[in-house]
Structure 1
Amino acid sequence: MNLTCNSTLEEMRISPGSEIILIGPLNFHDLARIIAAACTLIAVVMSLFLIWMHALHYTQPREQRYIIRILFMVPVYAIAAFAQLQWYWHAIYFQVISDCYEAFAIASFFALLCHYVAPDLHTQKVFFREIRPVKPWVMPVNWFAKCCGGQRGPWRTPKSGLTWFNIIWIGIYHYCFIRVTMTISAVVAQYFERYCESSNSPVFGHIWIIVLNALAVTVAMFCLIQFYVQLREPLAEHKLFLKIIAIKLVIFLSFWQASAISVGTSTLNIVHANRVLAYPDLKVGIPALLLCVEMACFAIMHLWAFPYAPYMAGAPPSFYPVPGADKAAPPLENGRSPPSGGFMGLLAIFDALNLWDFVKAFGMGMRWLFCGVKRRKEDVSYKLNSGDALDMDNLPEGKEGPSTYDAMRPGPGGAGPAAHDRYGPPMQQFGHQDALYHAGGRAAGGIEESAALMDNAQPNPEANSFRRDYSSPYGQPPPHASQESHRPHGAQQQAYYDPYQGQSQGQTAAPGGRTNAQARMGEALWGPR
């Protein structure tokens, strides 16, 4: 087996007279550089203008930071493609570094869709916990399911919307890790002359890195399309089809056209160098030129796909969707804040370029994959989606609480129809921000959603907050609770009945001769006695 890379672009140059003249004094290489430079200039100027306008009108940072990251994909690809064409003997470095950014573009688009659903991670989990039906996997996974046991096989559609959300989460964010790892591997292998971009022999790293990247991007794009199929109706106002086309075409063209030309010129020998096209132009020049032209087109397309007008002051308001099973609930408004982009939008751009949230998101997904998946069926969403009524006498401790999307609805006192939540005291006692906190873990403008990892079994993390301070809505303990129970930690406490914990603390029956279930139902409907 030949262990030597026979021909590399580093050893080849386009010498004068090696290509015939096409137009005036220009051969193909010179003509390609002029066209690529013009297209790159158009792509960069138009993309930077749109980025700057979003930064100046930075009124919804939760969404716009991801839009800015997506928009940066066009100038990154355009500049890298022109650099490949100009310095083709070092093209591999520009190619792998620019391709690495596509992983962050995919993850940014997924995060953008998540923030169209709800303002933070906890309320997103509330939304997906109650969404139903969960739509079947799109092809080809639905074909695999038919051949491998259907809903009993490994390709079955999850019953829980929250489990489905976690699978999509992992399928997309894993690509960031794999793509960055493969980029570093390609650069190191190229430095030690073991990459050999001109060969697809298995003794070199080129073919292996292409295969791993192809598998990872296929999984990520499948998950992104599945996410779009599930949410295209609730998020119809955001015109998702145009957005996903803008993302998918860039990734498809940038990866597959370069890979097809690489295979055709290396292993299959379909196309050969000639007097018009030298080998560097055939191998690098044509894919780079096509990419520069395509980026100019996508820069124009992004003006409609990711406009800045909806974020300007005075623009019509937008609303968060409600789960599929609760269409009668009024939607929650996606409010705007004063522009926070700083001088000339620099703070907004700095915020968008901070990619640490992707690292934390990948950690969340890995924790669920290795820990939470084992306990996923303990989540209440499995019972909600099975159609069974909830057993009020046997609610899983720590898994329930005011987890329904009802608590997010606007209404009198900030809680509306959720005033008599079946899991706790009347919600009129809370302001709107408190209702959001107990329903979604945080208020809309609270702590960053990535501050807490996804729970093992994905229970509602807000239930414990009710039990820790269940008396706070009333300003005093329930009438039947012992006052001694609120003494400092470590002091001797008298047993009392906690109506929000589903059992008696040191006794078997609730005060007044009622059973625990009767006490809970009565207090949920009419308040404490």
Structure 2
Amino acid sequence: MAPKNVIRFILVLIHVSSCLGRSGKMFSPSFISVAQSLSSWPIFSAGISVTVALVLSLFLTFEHLCAYHQPEEQKFLIGLIMMVPVYAVQSFFSLLNSKVAFICEMMRDCYEAFAMYCFERYLIACLGGEESTIRYMEDQFQPSDSSPLLDVDYDYGIVKHPFPLNWFMRNWYLGPDFYYAVKIGIVQYMILKPICAILAILLELLGIYGEGKFAWRYG
């Protein structure tokens, strides 16, 4: 069967199910609501996009698992790939039912923190581990043969803060201190993000959560 005929057949089924659902003679109320929602073009196109995203991401994950020769890198890379199905399913559920959009958004934010951790660990694994990463940073701080000899402001390997942060924060030098500061910051983000999500859910249940609202009675 040609792809054009398949698409036409699916559209006919959706149209027939929506018509029968409105008549209420054959299907249950829950199926009627689903059939009516599927008749919407935005939901139909979103469903196709989610299906494609799920198939491709799961196929890529399966390929990594079949060739699992570098676990220190691939296990974190799989965590990054799983962002695709998590975000796709969350967005689709939010489109189907706006009442669950808030919970889905909180779950997405929690996985975002985990994905950031996976990305940081993946970069470290690509550089050969923590010790190799620190040595690489220290090497960046050492002047090389290509460094300008007469440039007294040469600051390769130094992270300078923009104005006005440079008034009360000293420069960051690439090395162990900078590495552990970034590592601690990412771990803190992983801990604080779920805590903030739980607080947001509690405030939403109490009816005092107001995202983007600057008022004393909203949290």
TM-score, reference length from structure 2: 0.68
Q: What residue is the counterpart of 1:183 in the other structure?
A: 197
| SS of equivalent residue, structure 1 residue 143 | coil
Structure 1 residue 45 and structure 2 residue 55: aligned? yes
1:295-314 to structure 2, matched below 5 A, reads none
Q: What residue is the counterpart of 1:157 in the other structure?
A: 172
> What is the rounded CA distance, in whole Å, between the counterparts of 2:186 and 2:193 in structure 1?
11
Change (3 A) 1:82 1:174: same
Decide which structure has greater helix share. 2
Q: Deviations over 1:116-144 (max 9, x none)?
A: 111x3344444445542453336xx2333
> What is the rounded CA distance, in whole Å, between the counterparts of 1:174 and 1:198 in structure 2?
24
Q: What residue is the counterpart of 2:145 in the other structure?
A: none
> What is the rounded CA distance, in whole Å, between the counterparts of 1:93 and 1:200 in structure 2?
22
* Aligned mate of 1:172, from 186, 193, 207: 186
* Aligned mate of 1:142, from 138, 150, 162: 162
Q: Deviations over 1:313-335 (max 9, x none)?
A: xxxxxxxxxxxxxxxxxxxxxxx
| SS of equivalent residue, structure 2 residue 209 | coil
> What is the rounded CA distance, in whole Å, between the counterparts of 1:132 and 1:86 in structure 2?
52
> What is the rounded CA distance, in whole Å, between the counterparts of 2:137 and 2:118 in structure 1?
19
Q: Deviations over 1:190-249 (max 9, x none)?
A: 2222224585534222xxxxxxxxxxxxxxxxxxxxxxxxxxxxxxxxxxxxxxxxxxxx
* Aligned mate of 2:98, from 88, 98, 103: 88
Q: CA deviation at 1:94?
A: 0.9
> What is the rounded CA distance, in whole Å, between the counterparts of 1:32 and 1:198 in structure 2?
27
Structure 1 residue 121 and structure 2 residue 130: aligned? yes
Q: Deviations over 1:103-125 (max 9, x none)?
A: 1111211111111111x334444
Change (3 A) 1:34 1:201: farther
Alpha carbon RMSD of aligned pairs, Å? 2.7
* Aligned mate of 2:141, from 132, 150, 153: 132
Structure 1 residue 35 and structure 2 residue 45: aligned? yes
1:102-117 to structure 2, matched below 5 A, reads 102-117=112-127
> What is the rounded CA distance, in whole Å, between the counterparts of 1:173 and 1:70 in structure 2?
17
Aligned residues: 171
Change (3 A) 1:34 1:199: farther
| SS of equivalent residue, structure 2 residue 159 | coil
* Gaps in structure 1 of 5+ consecutive residues: 1-15, 17-25, 206-529
Higher Cα Rg, which structure = 1
Structure 1 residue 71 and structure 2 residue 93: aligned? no
Q: CA deviation at 1:182?
A: 0.9
Bigger relative contact order (CA 8 A; separation at least 6): 1
> What is the rounded CA distance, in whole Å, between the counterparts of 1:35 and 1:196 in structure 2?
31
Identity %: 25
Q: What residue is the counterpart of 2:218 in the other structure?
A: 204
> What is the rounded CA distance, in whole Å, between the counterparts of 1:89 and 1:107 in structure 2?
30
> What is the rounded CA distance, in whole Å, between the counterparts of 1:110 and 1:202 in structure 2?
37
Q: What residue is the counterpart of 2:108 in the other structure?
A: 98
| SS of equivalent residue, structure 2 residue 120 | helix
Q: CA deviation at 1:51?
A: 0.8
